[in-house]
Structure 1
Amino acid sequence: MPQTAQTLDAAAVRSWCSLSLAALGREREAIDAINVYPVADGDTGTNLYLTVESAARALDAAFAEGGVSDAPEAVRVMAHGALIGARGNSGTILSQLLRGVASVLAGGCDGDDLARALATAADAARQAVAHPVEGTILSVATAAAHAAAGGGELVVVARRAYEGARTALEATPGQLAVLERAGVVDAGGRGLVTVLGALVEAVSGEAEGPLADLSPVVVAPAVVAPAVVAPVTGDCAVEGGPAFEVIYLLEAGDAEVARLRERLDALGESLVVVGGDGLWNVHVHCDDAGAAVEAGVEAGRPYRIRITHFAGGDAARPEQVQRAVVAVLPGEALAELCREAGATTVLAAPGARPPASDELVDAIRRAHAREVVLLPNDADLRPTAAAAAERARAEGVRIALIPTRAAVQGIAALAVHEADRRFDEDVVAMTAAAGATRYAELAVAERQSFTSAGVCQAGDVLGLIEGDVAVIGDDPTETARTVLDRMLSAGGELVTLIVGEGAPEGLASDLEAHVRRAYLAVDTVVYHAGVGAGPLLIGVE
């Protein structure tokens, strides 16, 4: 039976943040697809994911430095990370909700404290919005707080808040005409329900059910296919609305921010100003982006300024090429090989922190291309890559995400890439090549564990096929041979071996010889990944 917590501790807060990020990664496309208010720009899920990703990075860094000793400090770090990385209307409001929670949990972390924290958070979020509207994330936050009122055991309070939020979310189409016309629930509210569901899982150990039934729009992610998300259309605020979204961090005092609110409220709409203690996140939709930034300069010191044109920007930039491939790769030598083939690369060593969306966006910008094919080469990196792709689209880049799950799939895709053919044809060919490549890898067990192949002990050599443990052995070469045989039993014409620094000497040559002896019609190609890669990756096409 899962264990339930009576109070929040630092580990539970970190788990909440991590589970929220994972859940928003899964829900991102579906939330984007129902984003019709206040602007139907299809990015609410992406903005919420990026906001929580910033919170998770801050929390991970604080834990790594030993700077988190209890839950109040963990929530404070989480809220601060969300504040500095908040994106869009809903992300900015979510950061204020977390700040409100942090302000109360500094005094305790049981169920009664959580109930008070949710009430404070809902009030703080409403105060941050210049003109609150019902049927939005604000209504869902208020309902969660009301459902949690009265306190009790921590897990009971968390579940009441979650169920109250779900009920309020279902009611949002009846509160906001634009949602009713489009036949959807509020996107920001759905994101908040997802975050509250992650809180329930963090304190109870039990995951809540999916939210697909709360919306008529269901976006099913493909296993290997270009990611194309089309937001719901209909009557919405974007028609004839402001041209720009302006977001920046601002260092300023309370009095200066009060004057800034008045000026920005007269200048535009969807105004949200969150923060405190001298640091604020400012969000506004307006036609005069320059005036919004100038108002910030007069109030204090604005930085991390982001201006997005709702109609999309001019994609023409100096020295742009027509098309580029951006690939995430383990090992410098393998990255260099792909750079020689024309790809822009991002390093991701096994066991190290995976690249954040900011790193992927920077790589897309470095490619200086009007069209980009993005290869994450890791199943766990797909939500981050999808978020980076959405940000690149907002900057005018035409981009296709092929959710490759291993470097061998990325190499197969890159091998058939032709920049001279039509973009759609190139993406289809690369997707087909990646999808036709089965993959496996060797790893070493760090501890005793139950696997799909039985119980492994610390130090055992694991052969994973398509991410699942298929072979447990004590010799890397023999384990790799067994994995190869299992993969080739289903057929194949080409074996790709990517050898890392931890591989035993002679492993590649031994496997090449084994393939030549046992499978006469199968060719083998070997790449050396270099420092930072795992011992062995295997691809079979």
Structure 2
Amino acid sequence: MPQTLDAAAVRSWCSLALEALGREREEIDATNVYPVADGDTGTNLYLTLESAAQAVEAVFAAHETGGSVPAAGDAVRAMAHGALIGARGNSGTILAQLLRGMADVLTDGTRETPAAGGAAPDAGGGEHLARALRRAAGLAREAVAHPVEGTILSVASAAADAAEQARAGTAATARAAHAGARTALVATPGQLAVLDRAGVVDAGGRGLLAVLGALVQALTGRAPAAFTAAPRRPGERPVELTDIGTAGSAAHGGRDADDGPAFEVIYLLEAGDEAVTRLRARLDRLGDSLVVVGGDGLWNVHVHVDDAGAAVEAGVEAGRPYRIRITHFGAAERAPEQVQRAVVAVVPGEGLAGLCAEAGATTVLARPGEPPASGELVEAIRRAHAREVVLLPNDAALRHTAAAAAEQARAEGVRVALIPTRAAVQGIAALAVHQPDRRFDEDVVAMTSAAGATRYAELAVAERQSWTMAGICQAGDVLGLIEGDVAVIGADLAATAEAVLTRMLLAGGELVTLVLGEDVPDALADRLEAHVREGHLAVDTVVYRGGRRSAPLLIGVE
């Protein structure tokens, strides 16, 4: 086994950390009571490390054809970058910053061509690792708007303290850091009252201990003794059980459904340092649990707010947000226990994501040219924390992807009904009639009926000359697609939209839904509402904003 942190050791570290978090995920989830008792810290840490491991594997794959070995610096930077873009939840976001801090130090002097085995000239040595852990702990604290002791931050600082005192080689320093983190973890209930009331250690800190244990195993070939903390009553001395039993029951005692913000908002952001400084201040006023990590123009933003739209809007003003995830802290998110039923919806724009989240749905943002994979849908189903889930793909092209996700979730014990919605307006119609208090089958039938009764259309701009069902279009023409087929070709958005509406209403209708894209003026909605009233007095019209990344105009007719 390597005694220095070369590229092979980094690869092994990622793999072992992922395995460790996979084993401990459910126990960590069960002890998650701070900052919100939403029972997903272990899952979030696992998904963050999964993204980091994939990035490291991609670096090694790039060297396979030439038979070379990546530099240690390349592997460490990939690990940190992968964690940044895949960070989930509060603890996952902090873990990404910890890895970034370590990478800042461990990549010093590692840009040279690596020696055999990928060892970096300056990556070995206990002092180097100790500096990396100190940098990691410092950056993590800077990233959190209001650091709290008794959390993953305390565990990270203790690991750095122990590493600096070790004055030994890399492997011995890693063992010392792990031992220091373990001691700090056991002490977390004495630092944070909510942990003491629940009789548990900090969930994020326990996840970090698993990651540090994997580092020790990667360097020495031997895994440290497993950490298992027994539940305890307030005032009792923390008791740690090693290799005996498991953590007791799902813990309670964190913020409940009646206090704290209603939404968790996470997104990646391309922005400069000054814009991010202003963003931090604005988001800190909007909510809590604010963590902004990253640098060099790419950031991961995490915040809990009541106004999810305002949090996203702040990101738009700061730069270019994407991979936006909005989760509603309903009963499903505030306690480890599952609720009976939830809805998971794929949406094509930030505005619709906020709309669906406010209606209680867990959302997955579909990015242009980047449809969500089945794994993202499975993750969303898990985040819903429900025994029964209604899945709305809202895109005909996602039918098979959604079916695969539903099958995987069923294998995990979740009852999933897939409603084959082919457009966002069908999903909105289905969500409007959703009633979680009625029987599951009845609810699914009602939602399916509402979606099926909604005809849909989309307006888009042609990128090139092409043959269509309505004739030949030229680049720049406005295309009116009804039920997925081009039915109208026009010169401007308003006239084409009127023609599409006229065709759709020939078959009758009671409600027209208009979803406007980011750059579409409100005047278009006014014009189309007037157009509907002229020929169909009994038809109502509702208007929503799709926000960034949505089509110029979506139309639904029920």
Q: Normalised by the size of structure 2, how large is the TM-score?
A: 0.56
Change (3 A) 1:364 1:236: closer
Measured after TM superposition, the shift of residue 357 of structure 1 is 3.6
Deviation at 1:126, TM superposition (A): 0.1
**2:305 is equivalent to residue 286 of structure 1:** yes
Please state if 1:261 is matched with 2:284: no
Aligned-residue offset at 1:8: 1.1
Q: Distance in 1 between matches of 2:344 and 2:300?
A: 29
Q: Measure, in 1, the Cα distance between the counterparts of 2:28 and 2:382.
A: 24
Alignment counterpart, residue 109 of structure 1, candidates 103, 118, 123: 123
The equivalent of 2:141 in structure 1 is: 126
- Preserved CA contact (<8 Å) 1:40 1:238: no
Distance 2:380 2:290 in 1: 28
* Aligned pairs, number: 336
1:230 CA drift (Å) = 7.3
Q: Is the 2:381–2:409 contact (alpha carbons within 8 Å) kept by the matching residues of 1?
A: no
Give 1:315 shift.
3.2
Bigger shift: residues 119-128 or 56-65? 56-65
Q: Detail structure 1 runs of 4+ shifted over 6 Å in the superposition.
A: 362-365
* CA 139–214 in structure 1, closer or farther in 2 if over 3 Å, else same: farther
Given that residues 37 and 237 in structure 1 are in contact (C-alpha distance below 8 angstroms), is that contact kept between their aligned partners in structure 2?
Answer: no
Q: Which amino acid aligns with 1:83?
A: L
1:99-143 CA-to-partner distances (Å, cap 9, x unmatched) read: 000000112212211000000000000000000000000000000
Shift in CA distance, 118/191, structure 1 to aligned 2, threshold 3 Å: same
Work out the CA distance in 1 between the residues paired with 2:379 and 2:92: 19
Q: What are the within-5 Å matches in structure 2 for residues 130-209 of structure 1? A: 130-150=145-165, 151-209=167-225
Pairwise CA distance, 1:73 = 1.3
Q: Is the 8 A contact 2:15 2:53 kept in 1?
A: yes
- In the alignment, the residues of structure 1 paired with residue 382 and residue 209 of structure 2 have an alpha-carbon distance, to the nearest angstrom, of 32
- CA 1:34/1:102 → structure 2, altered by over 3 Å: closer, same or farther? same
Letter in 1 for 2:342: A
Residue matched to 1:94: 95
Gaps of 5+ in 2: 109-121, 233-238, 241-247, 334-340, 347-372, 392-404, 418-438, 441-558
Query: Structure 1-normalised TM-score?
Result: 0.57
Residue 248 of structure 1 is matched in structure 2 by 267
CA contact (8 A) 1:135 1:173 kept: yes
- The percent of aligned pairs where both chains have the same amino acid is 67
Which amino acid is the alignment partner of residue 89 of structure 2? Answer: G
- CA deviations on 1:458-496 (whole Å, 9 max, x unpaired) are xxxxxxxxxxxxxxxxxxxxxxxxxxxxxxxxxxxxxxx
RMSD over aligned Cα atoms: 3.4
User: Contact (CA 8 Å) 1:42, 1:230: kept in 2 or not?
Assistant: no
Q: Partner of 2:252 in structure 1?
A: 233
The aligned residue for residue 57 of structure 2 is 60
Q: Are the structure 2 counterparts of residues 206 and 215 from structure 1 closer, same or farther at C-alpha, using a change threshold of 3 Å?
A: farther
Which residue in 1 is equivalent to 2:359? none
Distance in 2, matches of 1:210 and 1:164, equals 15
Q: Indicate how the Cα distance of structure 1 residues 58 and 290 shifts in structure 2: closer, same or farther if over 3 A, else same.
A: same
Q: 1:239 to 1:184 in 2, by over 3 A?
A: farther
* Contact 1:38 1:238 (8 Å CA) reproduced: no
SS at structure 1 position matched to 2:51 = helix
Return closer, same or farther for 1:32/1:370 CA change in 2, 3 Å cut-off.
Answer: closer
Which consecutive unaligned segments of at least 5 residues does structure 1 have? Answer: 219-228, 320-354, 374-384, 401-421, 424-541
3-state DSSP class of the match of 1:8?
coil
Alignment check: 8 A CA contact 2:36 2:254 kept: no
- The 1-side partners of 2:299 and 2:15 are apart by 24
Partner of 1:30: 27
Q: Is the 8 A contact 2:149 2:192 kept in 1?
A: yes
1:76 & 1:95 partners in 2: Cα distance? Answer: 11
8 Å CA contact 2:17, 2:210 repeated in 1: yes
* Equivalent in the alignment of 1:274: 293
Q: Is the 8 A contact 2:344 2:389 kept in 1?
A: no
Q: Partner amino acid for 1:251? A: E
Residue matched to 2:541: none
Displacement of 1:70 after TM fit? 1.7
One-letter amino acid of the counterpart of residue 148, structure 2:
V
Rounded to whole Å, the distance in 2 between the matches of 1:306 and 1:201 is 34
Match of 1:377 in 2: none
Is 1:47–1:91's contact at 8 Å kept on the other side of the alignment? yes
Change (3 A) 1:191 1:362: closer
Contact 1:116/1:149 (<8 A) preserved: yes
